[in-house]
């Protein structure tokens, strides 16, 4: 086996072990049309693990309404905390310690696949998705959904790309070797 063939084989083997497993993909979500019963709104993004549906990152902002003022929930801030599945398997709660507010987002489906996932709305004294200040007062979410902004990268794609790269490198080396022999 030539050095070039060994190199190409080694690249493919390394890529096979370096390729992320398909169950470790991240799904990026955008909140859409989220409004509270007091006239406020929520907007922003969050990311989930495609296997567990657990929130990995988030940057959500709420605006003031008649019940509560607005708050920022940002995973990079030292004052913010998240927890998955507290009230249901398809929910997560974010905490902003500076404003003593919490936002709970509960979804109809697990956040494990691309597409649109409806929020379970509050109403009739039932607070499924809501924001609260130390949970009194509470304002319920009365509309909204989350939309997957990107489709997860298939795990085989990096492996395929590295294989193509290895074949390209092999062809380039052969061409260079032929040119060197011709001179």
Burial class (CB within 10 angstroms; exposed 0-12, middle 13-18, buried 19+) of 142: middle
| Average pLDDT for the chain | 82
Mean pLDDT of 22-47: 91
Q: What is the pLDDT of residue 2?
A: 54
pLDDT of residue 62: 98
Q: What is the mean pLDDT of residues 65-79?
A: 93
Confidence band for 41, pLDDT divided at 50, 70 and 90: very high
- Residues above pLDDT 90, as percent of the chain: 56
48 beta partners: 27, 55
**Range with lowest mean pLDDT among 10-14, 93-97, 145-149, 160-164:** 10-14
């Amino acid at each position: 086996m030539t050095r070039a063939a060994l190199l190409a084989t080694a690249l493919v083997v390394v890529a096979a072990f370096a390729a992320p497993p398909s169950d470790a993909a991240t799904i990026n979500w955008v909140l859409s049309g989220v409004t509270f019963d007091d006239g406020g709104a929520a907007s922003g993004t969050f990311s989930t693990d495609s296997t567990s549906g657990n929130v990995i990152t988030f940057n959500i902002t709420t605006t003031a309404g008649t019940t509560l003022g607005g708050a920022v929930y940002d995973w990079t801030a030292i004052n913010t905390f998240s927890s998955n599945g507290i009230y249901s398997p398809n929910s997560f709660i974010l905490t902003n310690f500076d404003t003593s507010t919490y936002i709970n987002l509960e979804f109809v489906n697990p956040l494990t696949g691309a597409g649109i996932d409806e929020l379970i709305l509050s109403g009739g004294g039932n607070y499924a998705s809501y924001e609260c200040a130390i949970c009194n007062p509470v304002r319920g979410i009365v509309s909204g959904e989350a939309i997957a902004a990107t489709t997860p990268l298939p795990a085989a794609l990096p492996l395929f790309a590295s294989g193509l790269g290895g074949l390209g490198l092999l062809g380039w080396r052969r061409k260079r070797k032929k040119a060197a022999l011709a001179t």
